[in-house]
Amino acid sequence: MFRKLPQQRTLEDFKREARSLLHGLRKWDASTVRQYYSLDSEAGSLHVRLSDARYMVAQKYGCKSWRELEKRVARRRVAEYRLSSNMS
């Protein structure tokens, strides 16, 4: 099940989430591995890289890749900026 992309989160927030996931997976933290096993059946079984953690975070929010997540966040920020500039 995918989560809706939170409105107030920035790309930096998602990067922190990926680093936290990476740390948990490398430590073989049982709850972290269990939480992300549904997204990637090999979670915790191989040497995990940051790109793998970013991919899993993107999947969590319904994106096919980290790049797609970046684009969605950027589009949302542009839309918010346009909305706020039209209100002033």
Residue 18 lies in a domain: yes
Task: Kindly report, residue by residue over 64-85, the tens digit of the pLDDT.
Answer: 999 999 999 999 888 777 777 7
Task: Kindly report, residue by residue over 26-49, the tens digit of the pLDDT.
Answer: 887 887 777 776 666 665 556 788
Cα(80)–Cα(19) distance, integer angstroms: 27
Q: What are the structure tokens assigned to 32, written together?
A: 């972290």
Confidence (pTM): 0.77
Query: 3-17, 19-33, 58-72 — which is least confidently predicted?
Result: 19-33
Count the neighbouring beta carbons within 10 Å of the beta carbon of residue 37. 13
Cα dist from 42 to 25, 28, 61, whole Å? 11, 12, 19
Residue 6 lies in a domain: no
Confidence of residue 15 (pLDDT cuts 50, 70, 90): very high
Which residues constitute the domain of residue 43? Answer: 11-87
Domain tally, the chain:
1
